[in-house]
Amino acid sequence: MRPAPVLKYGTAKPEEVAGMTGRQMMQALIDGTIPAPPITQTLNFWLVEVGDGYAVFEGDTGPHLLNPLGGVHGGWALTLIDSAAGCAGHTLLPAGAGYTTVETKANFTRPIRHDSGRVRAEGRVVSRGRQIMTAEARVLDAAGRILAHGTSTLMVLGNGNGENRAGAGK
């Protein structure tokens, strides 16, 4: 098992990502040339692999993720699903375009405990339209067993011509 990467956290400046396609931006996160989003530090997960319509995160469980009943909070797995599915969609976007999640839903199939160790969240685009994409993601334990799985509906913002905000062009 690889150790967790040492990352710098923050948000990329517009000039740092100008002209990058979605896949290039995701790869820059992995390479550390742009900072990792602060939520990945808070929730202890990180992007490890991308391809066209594909993104993989890894994360470590721990006591900081516990719910009142002593299990890892389902919101952590849901966030991994949303992140893997969303970033899979992001890899297909041209430079200047963005996306937002419209809906994410999940099914939790096995308990995730604080000592479950490293998990892997694999996201893949299922359907790609001009304005709406759907993607699925699975959260797997070290033995490859599915802990949770889900789908996300993503809205494409802009067309790569500088219109990457909700409401652009109105």
Q: Is residue 5 part of a domain?
A: no
> What is the pTM for the complete model shown?
0.91
pLDDT bin (cut points 50, 70, 90) of residue 161 is low
Residue with tokens 């490890």: 48
pLDDT tens digits for 90-126? 999 999 999 999 999 999 999 999 999 999 999 999 9
Q: Residue 62 belongs to a domain with what CATH number? A: 3.10.129.10
For every residue of 18-69, DSSP letters joined together read TT--HHHHHHHHHHTSSPBPHHHHHHTEEEEEEETTEEEEEEE--GGGB-TT
pLDDT bin (cut points 50, 70, 90) of residue 4 is confident
Q: Is residue 43 part of a domain?
A: yes
How many domains are contained in the chain? 1
Q: Is residue 22 part of a domain?
A: yes
Q: What domain range includes position 27?
A: 14-157
pLDDT tens digits for 131-157? 999 999 999 999 999 999 999 999 999
